[in-house]
Homo-oligomer: A and B are copies of this chain.
Amino acid sequence: MKLIDSVTRMSTLAGILRKEGKSIGLVPTMGYLHEGHASLIGAARKQHDSVILSVFVNPMQFGPKEDFDRYPRDLKRDARIAAEAGADIMFHPSADEMYPQRYATYVNVERLADGLCGSSRPGHFRGVATVVAKLFGITRPHAAYFGRKDAQQVAVIRKMAGDLNMGVKIKVMPTVREKDGLAMSSRNAYMTERERADAAVIYRALRKAESLVMAGQRSSRRIIAAMAQMIAGVPSVKVEYISIVDPEEMSELETVSSDAIVSVAARVGRTRLIDNIEVKG
């Protein structure tokens, strides 16, 4: 596996791969890889001649009081996992490479980026959309792979790629979970063993929502109330939001009428976690 930290080298190589008629799959990550990332690399491996993993803890998508500084980083470990999972290239630029002096350009996806995580993390999705636009420009992928755990991110990126006619297919892979259902996340590393055990209530609440919908419940208000009650039973887990939204537009649904995403953000100690589940009304 090739390690590349220069934007120019990466974009030159992507240009060569394109000229050779190679199909390129991109897996954009912030590193500290886990099985979820490995599954994205594996999915890309099956579809493309060249699989590029990008590892970049993007300062633009962190708020001033967020965890940019303490976000876990381990490039050596990432390189080992990426190579094992089947990546051909690990692109890991510095922030100065990505945002040189007098950087000025931002991509905004309106509406979809406003609710859910967008309201508690202002500017977050602007940072996500901008860095993904840049990564698409640098690596010229035919398709890019994302985990379903970040449902709003997926919706924002899919909208951006379509709206700006980027010609990149957005592929969404199932959330990979721990045995107790907790969604894999690099941020899980922040938690104590106790917090880690408590955090499993988030997925239990999502499964509760699923079973309520399967039993015929269509009222978002009632489903959300049942979930909130369940999570309240674990006092270390503080709900930031529970929302039931349309998967494309991320707009709140009063009634679960067709496809919907039940989405949770919660804090366990200092750790902010998100998760979601798809339901069919």
User: Chain A residues in contact with chain B, CB under 8 A?
Assistant: 7, 11, 15, 18-19, 21, 102-112, 129-130, 133-134, 137-138, 140, 159-160, 163-167, 249
Question: Which residues of B are found within 8 Å of A140, using beta-carbon distances?
Answer: 167
Given A133-B164, A165-B7: A106 touches B102 (CB 8 Å cut-off): no
Cα A111 to Cα B102 in complex, Å, equals: 9
* A105 (CB) vs chain B CBs: closest residue: B163
Cα A249 to Cα B21 in complex, Å, equals: 38
Question: Which residues of B are found within 8 Å of A112, using beta-carbon distances?
Answer: 104
* A102 (CB) vs chain B CBs: closest residue: B249
One of B11, B103, B110 near A163 (C-beta < 8 A): B103
For residue A206, give the distance in angstroms from its CB to the closest CB of chain B: 27
For residue A144, give the distance in angstroms from its CB to the closest CB of chain B: 14
Q: A105-B107, A107-B164 are in contact. List 7 more A-B contacts (CB 8 A).
A: A7-B165, A18-B18, A19-B21, A104-B159, A106-B110, A137-B165, A137-B167
Grouping DSSP codes into helix (H, G, I), strand (E, B) and loop, the A interface class, with mixed when no group exceeds half, is mixed
One of B102, B106, B163, B166 near A108 (C-beta < 8 A): B106
Question: Which residues of B are found within 8 Å of A108, using beta-carbon distances?
Answer: 105-108
Inter-subunit contact B167/A105 (CB<8 Å): no
* A159 (CB) vs chain B CBs: closest residue: B104
Given A19-B21, A21-B19, A108-B108: A165 touches B103 (CB 8 Å cut-off): no
Inter-subunit contact B107/A106 (CB<8 Å): yes
* A165 (CB) vs chain B CBs: closest residue: B137
Inter-subunit contact A109/B105 (CB<8 Å): yes
Question: Which residues of B are found within 8 Å of A134, using beta-carbon distances?
Answer: 163-165
Question: Which residues of B are found within 8 Å of A249, using beta-carbon distances?
Answer: 102
Question: Which residues of B are found within 8 Å of A164, using beta-carbon distances?
Answer: 105, 107, 130, 133-134, 137
One of B21, B111, B129, B167 near A11 (C-beta < 8 A): B167
For residue A183, give the distance in angstroms from its CB to the closest CB of chain B: 27
Cα A106 to Cα B129 in complex, Å, equals: 10
Cα A185 to Cα B191 in complex, Å, equals: 63
One of B105, B107, B111, B138 near A159 (C-beta < 8 A): B105
